[in-house]
Structure 1
Amino acid sequence: MRRCHVTARLLTTLLAGVIALPAFAFETSARSAYVVDLTTNTVLLEKNAQVPLPPASMSKLMTLNMLFEALEDGRVSLDTQFNVSQRAMDMGGSTMFLTTQDRPTVEELIKGIIVLSGNDACVVVAEGLGGTEDAFASMMTQRARALGMENSTFGNASGWPHPAQRMSTEDLAILAERLIEEFPQYYHYFGIEEFPYDGRAPDNRFNRNPLFDLGLGADGLKTGHTQEAGYGLVGSAMQGNRRVVLVVSGLDSEAARRSESAAIINFAFRQFVMRTAVESGQVIAEIPVWLGEAQTVALAAPEDVELLIPVTAHEGIKGEVTWSGPVEAPISKGDEIATFTIVREGMSDTVIPLVAADDVAAAGFLPRFTTAAGQVFSMARDLAGIGAGAEDAATEEPAVN
């Protein structure tokens, strides 16, 4: 494996005019936090992000994922009606105030879970899809594992306090990304601010998302609160062509959840800018070629690379080109033969492929013969040196103490 380090001042002109703000790592008071820019898949903040914690009602997002999957594979439709059991009716906490006489539709249950945080609605969905809530919780855990959510287990569908009900903030971000990207046809439900189901409990008809009225581009997803979990939020906001997902957990109050979430959104959008860091066809480096008509081949990016850059980054891009060598001719333009690891201070590395910028034909018979003969001569010389060293060692008199 061959490597070479490259420093390219590619961003000097791109960042001209950007106001340099003081560089800092956001210090959150949340017990756990995870913030990711979905547009570039860049993690902007993480704190205790892999620790399984009580998720409270934020785990309702997994119940919604299971329901959206059932919609997609045709097991239910938005008009499908579910029965309401006595167990669902008896759920405490936040509810839709369902009774056993009701036959809510899937669409009403989606709104009831998202806007009203209905614990009763979650039980209705769990029993409608899994037979029992326990069976549904087991299905949720298995599905979470399949989706790469390694730090999530479920004891129920609602987030009601339970020893098995645990999720990490990173897993909640993975889930939020899935709901946004895999189910765009249902995502608009997360932006509904009011749902007066059948005129019941008029004071409980508003979405609890604290970011909706702050002008930050927020359009989802779910709040959570229990005494054990504290106050949490899985939120998403869109500004321009960038979408940011944030997850915070373990805050002390509603006010803290609101102010901390707003501060994180401002940090994510104002401390970073998205720029074309590498352009398609831009030559990054040259590496040696073995047995070719040319001794080197230029390496270029196959497409534009958009990266988030801290607004204070005026030093250009630094990175490392890695390839397996020697690279033998013939080489065709566009062959992927190396990678470029881009390093940004305080941020995760980005690895992009590099391709040959030009064709390199194989050398003719005489150059190849000469190169091969040179290699044979070099190997013979090395072996002769090893033999002479061995003979010298054999004839050397032993040291006398």
Structure 2
Amino acid sequence: MLQHTTLRSLTAGLVALATSCIAFAAPVVTPDPPKVNAKGYVLVDYLTGRTLVQHNADERLAPASLTKMMTSYVLGTEIKNGNVTEQDMVKIGPNASLYTNAELRGSSLMFVQVDTEVPLGELNRGIIVVSGNDACIAVAEHLAGTEDAFADMMNAYADHLGMTGSHFMNSHGLDHPEHYTTAHDMATLGAALIRDLPEEYAIYADKSYTWDGREQFNRNALLWDKDLGADGIKTGHTNEAGYSLVSSAVKDDMRLVAVVMGTDSTRARNAESRKLLQYGFRFFETVVPYEPGTVFAEERVWFGTQEKIELGVLETVATTLPKGQRKNLKADFELTSRPEAPIAKGDQFGVVHVTLDGEDIATYPLVALHDVEEAGWFSKLIDHILLFIHNLTN
């Protein structure tokens, strides 16, 4: 056991001289979350993944057209991977026309015509902006042959993203007893669209789309709220599901993802989503207390060409805090292994614990910030002797 593996407190400029500058500090108060009238909801900080508000977030609910986010994710990934292009022409089959598929009548449509060919990129916009069920079926059949096979692809992607509470039976979201998701899973999917497919996600901000001379408007009313900073994501409605909305907005370098499922009206889903987003922006902030390359420790290296190595963080260290609490952050680090050469930049030797009021709020790997080559045999022999003596005396 090494003595230098004990915890050491660091301030790293976060609390420096705070008490000498402020005699009396006003308490930081974060009010309770707003009451949201929905079957299930969640509010998540996109960058850190921290859940700020939730209720029934893991309850299985009918997703309605929120399903199209997964259809979009599969299609966007196929385009990104080069398996298809937006210029590919898609033959519209009878399953994708309201005139030959009675299930589509009365639902949201792009209004593609059977036996015509439509560019895949246009169908993509028809799915995202105007929530076209016909466009979903056309894309599903183009990518997988049948909609059942495409549903298998959707479920495989859901498993990959960790959406453990979801199961998809179709590409559009019309009600089915085995077609369900959760508010938490929809937040996960929304974040994945933003993170993995920025070009695909950019389409979600479009307020309208015109196909074959017919202009239709995006049902996400938050896009018209200039103060909110919303740029997506997707609405949904069926009789079973109620009115739902997955939304995302950016303000002051903070992005939030809100999910509201099962409200009573379009007005309610907009109002309840706005409540969550405004609460998050008003009372929380995303902070980056440590930039990549921040040094936390300088430790003895054994068997190396250098005597010391700098240990710190190489990734962007972000966390979500109640506003006004940044000055109270502290960091501790714990060494879990002894630095022995050869060492490559990024090798982990411990953990950094970021704490607020004595409570861990984030942990990050403590890694080597540079390489250290292995020393020659004579230097290593000396270190073996020194290390033997060190272990005896400690």
Q: What interval of TM-score do these two structures reach, taking the shorter chain for normalisation?
A: 0.7 to 0.9
Q: Distance in 2 between matches of 1:220 and 1:118?
A: 17
Q: 2:43 aligns with which of 35, 39, 52?
A: 35
User: In structure 2, what residue type is equivalent to 1:265?
Assistant: L
Q: Distance in 2 between matches of 1:261 and 1:299?
A: 43
Matches within 5 A, 1:293-304: 300-301=312-313
Q: 1:162 aligns with which of 160, 176, 180?
A: 176
Quote the RMSD (CA, aligned, Å): 4.0
Aligned to 1:208: 219
Q: Distance in 2 between matches of 1:62 and 1:171?
A: 11
Q: Distance in 2 between matches of 1:220 and 1:365?
A: 60
Aligned to 1:68: 76
Q: 2:196 aligns with which of 182, 186, 197?
A: 182
Q: 1:346 to 1:252 in 2, by over 3 A?
A: farther
Matches within 5 A, 1:248-327: 248-278=260-290, 300-301=312-313, 305-313=317-325, 316-318=328-330, 320-324=332-336, 327=338
Q: Distance in 2 between matches of 1:303 and 1:356?
A: 12
Aligned to 2:66: 58
User: In structure 1, what residue type is equivalent to 2:325?
Assistant: A
> Which structure: larger Rg?
1
1:5 is displaced (CA, Å) by 6.8
Structure 2 stretches of 5 or more lacking a match?
373-378
Q: Distance in 1 between matches of 2:92 and 2:41?
A: 36
Q: Distance in 2 between matches of 1:196 and 1:19?
A: 54
Give secondary structure in 1 for the equivalent of 2:221. Answer: coil
1:122 is displaced (CA, Å) by 1.0
Alpha-carbon contact 1:19-1:311 (below 8 Å) kept: no
Alpha-carbon contact 2:353-2:360 (below 8 Å) kept: no
Matches within 5 A, 1:81-100: 81-89=89-97, 90=101, 91-92=104-105, 93-100=107-114
Alpha-carbon contact 2:328-2:356 (below 8 Å) kept: no
Give secondary structure in 2 for the equivalent of 1:351. Answer: strand
User: In structure 1, what residue type is equivalent to 2:205?
Assistant: G
User: In structure 1, what residue type is equivalent to 2:267?
Assistant: A
Alpha-carbon contact 1:9-1:317 (below 8 Å) kept: no
Matches within 5 A, 1:188-199: 188-199=202-213
1:226 is displaced (CA, Å) by 1.4
Give secondary structure in 2 for the equivalent of 1:349. Answer: strand
Give secondary structure in 2 for the equivalent of 1:76. Answer: coil
Q: 1:346 to 1:312 in 2, by over 3 A?
A: farther
Q: Distance in 2 between matches of 1:115 and 1:150?
A: 27
List per-residue Cα deviations over 1:36-84 (Å, max 9, x = no partner): 2223443333333233321110011111122223323344322222222
Q: Distance in 2 between matches of 1:74 and 1:289?
A: 46
Q: 1:344 to 1:172 in 2, by over 3 A?
A: farther
Matches within 5 A, 1:79-118: 79-89=87-97, 90=101, 91-92=104-105, 93-118=107-132
Alpha-carbon contact 2:301-2:341 (below 8 Å) kept: no
Q: Distance in 2 between matches of 1:252 and 1:29?
A: 8
Q: Distance in 1 between matches of 2:344 and 2:88?
A: 55
1:213 is displaced (CA, Å) by 1.2
1:367 is displaced (CA, Å) by 6.1
Question: How many residue pairs are counted as aligned between the two chains?
Answer: 369
Provide TM-score, normalisation by structure 2: 0.78
Q: Does 1:148 align with 2:162?
A: yes
Provide TM-score, normalisation by structure 1: 0.77
Q: 1:128 to 1:365 in 2, by over 3 A?
A: closer
Q: Distance in 2 between matches of 1:115 and 1:303?
A: 35
List per-residue Cα deviations over 1:263-308 (Å, max 9, x = no partner): 22222222223334236676657999999xxxx9996555763433
Give secondary structure in 1 for the equivalent of 2:164. Answer: coil
Q: 2:135 aligns with which of 121, 138, 154?
A: 121
Q: Does 1:26 align with 2:22?
A: no
Alpha-carbon contact 1:22-1:312 (below 8 Å) kept: no
Structure 1 stretches of 5 or more lacking a match?
376-401
Give secondary structure in 2 for the equivalent of 1:211. Answer: helix
List per-residue Cα deviations over 1:339-394 (Å, max 9, x = no partner): 122234799831123357999x998788666556557xxxxxxxxxxxxxxxxxxx
User: In structure 1, what residue type is equivalent to 2:135?
Assistant: A
User: In structure 1, what residue type is equivalent to 2:37?
Assistant: S
Q: Distance in 1 between matches of 2:359 and 2:241?
A: 29
Aligned to 2:57: 49
